[in-house]
Chains A and B, each alone.
Chain A
Amino acid sequence: MARMKFLCDAERCIECNGCVTACKNENEVPWGVNRRRVVTINDGVVGAEKSISVACMHCSDAPCMAVCPVDCFYRTDDGVVLHDKDLCIGCGYCFYACPFGAPQFPQAGAFGLRGKMDKCTFCAGGPEPDRSAAEFQKYGRNRLSEGKLPACAEMCSTKALLGGDGDVIADIYRERVLRRGRGSEVWGWGTAYGPGKPGAQPPQQQPSGTRS
């Protein structure tokens, strides 16, 4: 059984914010709410700048779920932490409990009223009929029900952000770390365009594409 997780490679993230944009576009997230954001440390320091894309990490023992006074959180069989917005009272406890600052609260009204909590759903929608208008309006698009992965991970240009079953993406990351060398290999040029050896040929047969 899959345990869906995100993994962000800080060596590769170039702070393009493509994941943030992809998420906002795919789920039509309201103004002022960022389900995903890119955090940068040592900004502008040559060689020391690192960026990482952060959203809900879909914890196996989720603190938000533990502190919710109305128990509106649930975990799917794939390990995705979701919540029922019809039950949420917008108290904000989950925001204080979350170590990643994932829960977001839309600021509606002149006095900054705290709306129902909104967070990354791993593009898995919520407790409404799958692919329905109600689900899209409340939780965004349900890509898992279409056999797709979260838009942020699939749109990542440098493949810094990986999404999927923890075992699978950990294997991908492990192999990447073992194989990447130094310089441009770390940045991904060599892995993206090939080693550029004389006589290197593209593969005869492209793998059957499932990407969109």
Chain B
Amino acid sequence: MKRGLLLLSALALVLGLGACGERDQVVVYKQGKYQGKPDTQPWNNEPPIAELKGGKWSKGNQASWEESIKQRQLAQHEHKRIYQ
């Protein structure tokens, strides 16, 4: 009788612990990969003609394009454009 109770409680303990081993059921999303056509980088173009008042950089040079566009961005800073 006592042995049976022990066996039963051991079984309950095993089943109870087994329930704790539940697997994570959250879906893992995988980021898709772009399937379209490749795009040209902006610095791989010739700078526009002077009349268009665009930036100045050397074709293919990313750093010079970034410097050019940064100067353009700083033109939005009115505190640096007006007299104080």
In the complex, the answer to whether A144 meets B74 with C-beta atoms within 8 Å is: no
In the complex, the answer to whether A149 meets B52 with C-beta atoms within 8 Å is: no
In the complex, the answer to whether A74 meets B79 with C-beta atoms within 8 Å is: no
| Closest chain B residue, CB of each to CB of A142 | B42
In the complex, the answer to whether A71 meets B42 with C-beta atoms within 8 Å is: no
In the assembly, what is the distance between CA of A87 and CA of B33, in Å?
13
In the complex, the answer to whether A211 meets B53 with C-beta atoms within 8 Å is: yes
In the assembly, what is the distance between CA of A84 and CA of B35, in Å?
9
Q: A164-B72, A201-B83, A211-B53 are in contact. Are A84 and B77 (CB under 8 A)?
A: no
B residues near A127, Cβ cutoff 8 Å: 36-39
B residues near A87, Cβ cutoff 8 Å: 35-36
In the complex, the answer to whether B42 meets A78 with C-beta atoms within 8 Å is: yes
In the complex, the answer to whether A83 meets B36 with C-beta atoms within 8 Å is: yes
In the assembly, what is the distance between CA of A157 and CA of B33, in Å?
40
- B residues contacting the other copy or chain, number (CB 8 A): 43
In the assembly, what is the distance between CA of A159 and CA of B69, in Å?
17
A26 within 8 Å of B by Cβ? no
In the complex, the answer to whether B33 meets A71 with C-beta atoms within 8 Å is: yes
In the complex, the answer to whether A179 meets B73 with C-beta atoms within 8 Å is: no
9 residue pairs, one from A and one from B, having the closest CB atoms: A147-B55, A84-B36, A164-B73, A71-B32, A146-B54, A212-B53, A74-B34, A127-B37, A145-B42
Selected A-B contacts with CB under 8 Å, 22 pairs: A71-B32, A71-B35, A71-B36, A72-B34, A78-B42, A84-B36, A147-B54, A147-B56, A147-B57, A149-B73, A162-B76, A164-B73, A172-B74, A172-B77, A175-B77, A176-B78, A193-B82, A200-B84, A207-B75, A210-B68, A211-B75, A212-B52
Binding site for B on A (CB under 8 A): 1-2, 65-66, 68, 70-74, 76-78, 82-84, 86-87, 124-131, 142, 144-149, 153-154, 159, 162-165, 168-169, 172, 175-176, 179, 188, 191-195, 200-203, 207, 209-212
